[in-house]
Structure 1
């Protein structure tokens, strides 16, 4: 199959998964359309077609169903479905992209539109200005007039109520007919139309008009609730400023942030939001990264460090070199990722979708039997049982049931994104709650990923002099160990003397002359060759090595001056994060390619099982063995060296601060790099699954109650419609509770 063309639309007026299903079914039947993906929470539709499709006809088809539609800028060619899902070849459902991988350029264009206010969704603004709002108000006014006319002139009351009913029902019936011809005969609009017309036939025109009005009120409430859920992630886009101060030719001028190109240099004043992802060229300031990473404490950053669009500069001016265009900055990618994830259905959601296909026709059949069998077999009154059958039609609407899962998942994905926890779809979210083992990489995951000075030891001189001479020799070096020593010296405020004739000795260390004295700084073995180490000194160095530390010895003249020990230290929250997982009953292990001594030292410190000196294929093998033992495995790593293990695990989680790898390689990403966020992800998943169970219980429970009360004659048509729309609103509100952090 040749290349397909992908086109995205902004769709207005969608309230629930039932709306999405109608649009999907209708558009999928259009000539040339290969695949359709509709997201209620994002308010978008993506159509993949072979180039022969009539896009105008597609738009008209969606409009005829009662929704507004507007093309989003950008058009891209994508591979045919056979090439889909190229990230990982997993044998489970976590990459359920439904055949519609996003082309990167179009993603960037869409994200840019969202960032700068070009959201064409007509539902924006007060509810009373929307099309549904105006129709609801008109229907309500007509119902009030009908009651007034009926009170004044009782003889024409039935006709007044029929007119009031038709004002609201005609648009509903038109949508029902269009949906039926487009492949969805059992839509809620069709059930509503049948019930209202049937009520008029059995002389229940007053109730018919009331039910139509209540139906419109319910739809309006659903729209407001859906809008709240949609805004929860889209509100992130408002964090990025629309203007930036660009430096060019020694001058600064204000420009639109969307015009910033990679390589541009911008000035960020104290208190301003940073307009683009970038690297600090000059300046030192505290940065509030809460909008991107969820970190509540501002982080101090200086020259060479990375900053993200939407974060807030604190107390000093910064010059920043732009590393990503506005359409591809961290915020835009987070929004795009979450919207895309919302279109990826969880196993529970797919089951509910399949169930609803049989459920609605089943309800219609039950309603027909209730209306017909008692009069035929038991001599019941036709009017009474037809009335009950019509009420059952309304009770049986599957809207609340269908929305129960996607509403919770959308809210959960949005909540996670706000805390720096990115999950690629409902399948990943659902699987996380079942995880029973987590395999961590060491370097950059459990540890900071860069060595730090842990010990400064004095042998023949004091510690300050040892640090001073060692740092002087390492000046200008870019080696990680040298950078660690220089950072420690800078933090201690050490003044570095001038070094003459400094040069490296391969595999041994570095020599030079400081203040007229020859200085050597290098391995203990090389230092021992110059001046023999004492037994006590050897013992102390060996103890440091056993703790996984790298030790370098300083020789000044003919004296063993001291030693400096360095190690890649665990993250501040690593021990706490692992303890949280253990308390939750999750097994934790470390898989690392580092040497066994260093790995075991870190393992002892953190209390985690260690597997060291592993090749990538060894990590993959161990993950496979854990899965064969019946464990649900999450692999946490950097997304590059751990790629085979990440792909093999049930869930691959990348640690990182908003890099391409962290956002795009694995199934999930932890932006802030906190080990404790792994436990937070699992807790969020469990909380979401509990919410879904609550939603399904609400949806089916209310229907069951009203089904019984209708059959025994306690409730009628208007309570039935309240049962449907009320359940939908309750389910949505319950799902929105997930937007709040767990207490």
Structure 2
């Protein structure tokens, strides 16, 4: 409680690199009154545990001119007005003008002319003023980050008379920072664009009148009026009207969903044709959309294995570059009598080319972009580690009901062996005590048939997990349960005609529920849950992607399970399973296959989801539990999102590997130029700037991965 009260979250504007974000985190951590500080570079957010004013936090980020604002849902969606190009890059433009003038003067008057040197010096001072201030402060504190290395290199170049190259390095560095900032902002905007989905105002009915109200002033219980073509501003339930609602922004579904009385709707979805009155169920900061944005931003802070490796590697990489640079500067002159100026210059170039920026940014930009793209397509990935694991899956296990099937079972057959009206009334009364999806199918039929069951008293009600239910009605014990339960509980089950009927119904893929007493079977019902069309296509695509094994885990009977599994082309079918049996099977699959995903509803299959490498919840938009407990949530009930997510993950893994190899490879290639003495400062800065831009742009390619 105390920690929650002292926790404050801020949005940060002005980040240019992951290394600088780490320094900012350490600076905030050092503020008196701050217990802990965490920077989420991907989402550009800062979490502070303890007390610190915005002025103190901005002072901690003054080295990069960071701007801080409280993290509110509305504030996050509002971008500050963009300044004109010439104002944003005034110093860079001035430095460029002096550099151009210096090059002209060098051509006309010579490089040793005082006016030429002063022009180059002016370009260096104007273009690198911010760089030098930070670099010199870091040098005093013995903090050797990118700006420190660049400052040493540029000052060293000026000392040995390489004014032109020093100025070119300053300009190229400033350009690279501007481009890197633009690229990272583009990656972050893949998430921030989600914030613009929901409207900022809505029409609310209060005291018989309609008012236009800011969404932050709307409370749970208010009634929204949403007309055709308008977006729904808040989560709620329909209390009047019906309409087709386009939910693509939340669930990724391409087809609109028909919404009728008591149906749930989400903020950010589009009302297409009818007028809806919606009772608000959540405040703006608690809507499904707000939760998705929050969870996606938190996911960006979760380091993937590759990112953790890069961060650890960078700790040793920078000091190593410093030592190599020092050796290049003094080694050849001391041991081989080489020219000091030449090798000091080469050593300075090593410092520039050795900046770890490209390496540090190689992984997070790909992860931020991939997670943002997935969210836009209705898939919530809870962290970089899960993004990487998705691409390495070998086997996938599916729950049947509500995952491979529609999850809306219907009674397709009912037969009574006595008084049909009385038997069905007692049957429905017993099922009324249960919350199982199959019970809902029985009650739906009872309501349609006008059966009066609600006033029938049921005593001593017991739910037998995975088998059925029992209860006492008018002093007699009844059960509504599976044939396997009745085979040991009721002597009436063993009549030949009962077994034949059960087997005939099960062969058609139905789930059979018997109703009766210990002495006889009173009624037999068959319930069917239709296989989703998308499930057939999804399983086919998963096999095309190279998933080695697909398994269906269900509590249903063997014949029903086999009928469904065969239709879908599932490799292995396990039926009549209790929740603990599913858990053991997942553990066994992990031992044999390694990386295994479990796809379920996020609630009933919680143990199996937790035991799998990746727990994937279906229909995350409808349940808070799925959003909070699963590693990956498919926001719609569409299994076709699963092959898309695996493809996205694999492409992200390829791009991350490409980025790491390229970032290290280009540095190594540039360092080899030291041997013949060919490495120059401008080649070094091009190598560093080029590598940073290429890995960033390569990561942004993940925005182009589409759900087909």
Q: TM-score, normalised by structure 2?
A: 0.84
1:134 is aligned, of 90, 103, 128, to 90
433 and 392 in structure 1: CA distance in 2 versus 1, 3 angstrom threshold: same
Instruction: Check whether the contact 1:404–1:695 (CA below 8 A) recurs between aligned residues.
Output: yes
2:65 maps to 67
What is the CA distance between 1:669 and its match in structure 2? 0.8
Structure-2 separation of matches of 1:691 and 1:198: 36
2:40 maps to 39
What is the CA distance between 1:336 and its match in structure 2? 0.9
Q: What CA deviation, in whole Å up to 9, does each residue of 1:574-623 have, x standing for no partner?
A: 12222322332332222333444443433333233233333333322222
Aligned to 1:629, what secondary structure does the other structure show? Answer: helix
The alignment status of 1:544 with 2:544, answered yes or no, reads no
1:158 maps to 117
Aligned to 2:56, what secondary structure does the other structure show? Answer: helix
524 and 34 in structure 1: CA distance in 2 versus 1, 3 angstrom threshold: closer
2:551 is aligned, of 567, 581, 589, to 589
What is the CA distance between 1:683 and its match in structure 2? 2.0
Q: What CA deviation, in whole Å up to 9, does each residue of 1:195-242 have, x standing for no partner?
A: 111111111101111110111011011111111111111011111011
2:197 maps to 239
Structure-1 separation of matches of 2:249 and 2:566: 35
Q: What CA deviation, in whole Å up to 9, does each residue of 1:148-167 have, x standing for no partner?
A: 45456552212221222112
Unmatched segments (≥5 aa) in structure 1: 74-109, 458-465, 491-495, 509-521, 526-533, 554-561
435 and 26 in structure 1: CA distance in 2 versus 1, 3 angstrom threshold: same
Instruction: Check whether the contact 1:662–1:671 (CA below 8 A) recurs between aligned residues.
Output: no
Aligned to 1:640, what secondary structure does the other structure show? Answer: coil
1:104 maps to none
1:736 is aligned, of 675, 700, 703, to 700
1:681 maps to 645
2:609 maps to 646
Instruction: Check whether the contact 2:648–2:705 (CA below 8 A) recurs between aligned residues.
Output: no
The alignment status of 1:369 with 2:332, answered yes or no, reads no
Structure-1 separation of matches of 2:454 and 2:329: 98
592 and 180 in structure 1: CA distance in 2 versus 1, 3 angstrom threshold: farther
Aligned to 1:585, what secondary structure does the other structure show? Answer: coil
Alignment of 1:177-192 (within 5 A): 177-180=136-139, 185-192=143-150
2:129 is aligned, of 170, 179, 182, to 170
Instruction: Check whether the contact 1:139–1:168 (CA below 8 A) recurs between aligned residues.
Output: yes
| More displaced 10-residue stretch of structure 1: 230-239 or 135-144 | 135-144
The alignment status of 1:328 with 2:276, answered yes or no, reads no
1:283 is aligned, of 224, 241, 244, to 241
What is the CA distance between 1:169 and its match in structure 2? 2.3
The alignment status of 1:350 with 2:308, answered yes or no, reads yes
1:667 maps to 631
Instruction: Check whether the contact 1:111–1:333 (CA below 8 A) recurs between aligned residues.
Output: no
Structure-1 separation of matches of 2:618 and 2:47: 30
Structure-2 separation of matches of 1:552 and 1:214: 75
Alignment of 1:481-496 (within 5 A): none
Question: Between Structure 1 and Structure 2, how many residues are aligned?
Answer: 655
577 and 505 in structure 1: CA distance in 2 versus 1, 3 angstrom threshold: farther
Aligned to 1:315, what secondary structure does the other structure show? Answer: coil
Unmatched segments (≥5 aa) in structure 2: 459-468, 471-479, 484-494, 515-522
Instruction: Check whether the contact 1:654–1:661 (CA below 8 A) recurs between aligned residues.
Output: no
What is the CA distance between 1:6 and its match in structure 2? 1.9
182 and 56 in structure 1: CA distance in 2 versus 1, 3 angstrom threshold: farther
Structure-1 separation of matches of 2:453 and 2:383: 58
7 and 257 in structure 1: CA distance in 2 versus 1, 3 angstrom threshold: closer
Instruction: Check whether the contact 2:57–2:68 (CA below 8 A) recurs between aligned residues.
Output: no
Aligned to 2:244, what secondary structure does the other structure show? Answer: strand
Instruction: Check whether the contact 1:22–1:179 (CA below 8 A) recurs between aligned residues.
Output: no
The alignment status of 1:439 with 2:397, answered yes or no, reads yes
The alignment status of 1:611 with 2:574, answered yes or no, reads yes
Aligned to 1:27, what secondary structure does the other structure show? Answer: helix
What is the CA distance between 1:180 and its match in structure 2? 4.7
Aligned to 2:552, what secondary structure does the other structure show? Answer: strand
What is the CA distance between 1:535 and its match in structure 2? 10
Q: TM-score, normalised by structure 1?
A: 0.80
What is the CA distance between 1:541 and its match in structure 2? 6.4
Structure-1 separation of matches of 2:627 and 2:697: 30
1:697 maps to 661
Structure-1 separation of matches of 2:556 and 2:147: 63
Q: What CA deviation, in whole Å up to 9, does each residue of 1:504-557 have, x standing for no partner?
A: 79899xxxxxxxxxxxxx9999xxxxxxxx99999666422333425799xxxx
Instruction: Check whether the contact 2:396–2:550 (CA below 8 A) recurs between aligned residues.
Output: yes
- RMSD, matched Cα: 3.7
Instruction: Check whether the contact 2:511–2:556 (CA below 8 A) recurs between aligned residues.
Output: no
35 and 498 in structure 1: CA distance in 2 versus 1, 3 angstrom threshold: closer
Instruction: Check whether the contact 2:395–2:593 (CA below 8 A) recurs between aligned residues.
Output: no
523 and 62 in structure 1: CA distance in 2 versus 1, 3 angstrom threshold: closer
The alignment status of 1:145 with 2:146, answered yes or no, reads no
Q: What CA deviation, in whole Å up to 9, does each residue of 1:10-65 have, x standing for no partner?
A: 2222122122122123333444544332122211121223x5x67643431212x2
What is the CA distance between 1:379 and its match in structure 2? 2.4
1:228 maps to 186
Structure-2 separation of matches of 1:538 and 1:592: 22
111 and 648 in structure 1: CA distance in 2 versus 1, 3 angstrom threshold: farther
Structure-2 separation of matches of 1:404 and 1:33: 31
1:420 is aligned, of 366, 378, 402, to 378
Aligned to 1:160, what secondary structure does the other structure show? Answer: helix
1:387 maps to 345
Instruction: Check whether the contact 1:421–1:681 (CA below 8 A) recurs between aligned residues.
Output: yes
Structure-1 separation of matches of 2:373 and 2:25: 27
Structure-1 separation of matches of 2:16 and 2:454: 71
2:17 maps to 16
Instruction: Check whether the contact 2:243–2:274 (CA below 8 A) recurs between aligned residues.
Output: yes
Structure-1 separation of matches of 2:237 and 2:301: 33
